[in-house]
Amino acid sequence: MSKTYDIAIAGATGAVGETLLQILEQRKFPVGTLFPLASERSIGRTVKFCGEDLQVQLLNDFDFRQVQLGLFSAGAAVSAEIVPRAVEAGAVVIDNTSQFRYDDDVPLVVPECNAGRIANYVQRGIIANPNCSTIQLVVALKPIQDAVGIVRINVSTYQAVSGAGRRAIETLTVQTRAVLSGDDPVTDPDAEKSVVFNVVPKIDRLLDNGFTKEEMKMIWETQKILESADIMVNPTCARVPVFWGHSESIHLETRRKITAPEAQKLLNSAPGIVVLDGESPGAYPTAVTEAAHRDAVFVGRIREDLSHPKGLNLWVVSDNLRKGAALNSVQIAEILVNQFM
């Protein structure tokens, strides 16, 4: 009988948690017993896994000695409190929050880019999952960085509301129906501006340097994953009225010139990437038609910059709940159990 692993999912009733359950089942991860964990608000609920209805248990009371793996997507404050307890009990934690990403002794991993760093989990018993917008960025840029080097990244993101959680999905649904019915949309008291039929150029709180925390995440995480503090990253992150799938407009300045055909060839052979780029109608990817509910990072609109001799432009889309969160965590877990546990 093949070895199985008992797993706890913290935040099992959230958007990422539900996607984790789906992907573990779809990829036939060797799960022994699965424990769905959440806050008191979710007690009494069940989640479905491999045809069974599993009762949600209270995260704060869970005994992590029952599991070998913990997959956390319950928010940074929860991870700060509970993850050390899980590790002390003997579980290895893959954390999908920002809590541990910038700690030097915690590997920040995107398997297509730096799978070898997973071995460093032994230092703290924790592996950090990057921000969703960072993941698709570095998957697309890693082959180019390895081939010709990258000096500077200018990136504008157009991020789906699912990146803000289940409530944001529900809010956009209600507001869209209201507007299409000729009614005034119900105002979200937690939102500075409504996203329905709008583009909001601010995600997370504004920092003293004028950038948002979301934008600074992209800078710090990209440099850590690509292992180059010299790469200059200049992001602008916007929320758009799309349910699933982040889009990114990327402009690169490379150390050595790379032509558009050369970049296309590199990306075509890179893991986790699907290139959709050409002159025929519709030969470019979008969040809705290609990325949503799929695993790949899609790249198109590959073209050389007319204003810079070593400039290259890309358009990148990916499902933020799958590759941008849950799938990346499961890929890390697969390598972890196959090579290190």
Active-site positions read 132, 246
CA distances for 274 relative to 126, 159, 216, 261, angstroms = 30, 20, 27, 15
- Bridge partners (DSSP) of residue 232 are 152
**Contact between 226 and 134 (Cβ < 8 Å):** no
Structure tokens at 115: 């799978």
Closest Cα partner for 21 from 52, 60, 63? 52
Strand order in the sheet with 150-159: 232-239, 150-159, 246-254, 311-318, 297-304, 273-275
d(CA 242, CA 123): 39
| AA letter at 105 | D
Closest Cα partner for 193 from 204, 181, 184, 202? 202
d(CA 37, CA 12): 6
For 47-116, give the DSSP string. Answer: EEETTEEEEPEEGGG--GGG-SEEEE-S-HHHHHHHHHHHHHTT-EEEE-SSSSTT-TTS-B--HHHHGG
Structure tokens at 212: 């948002």
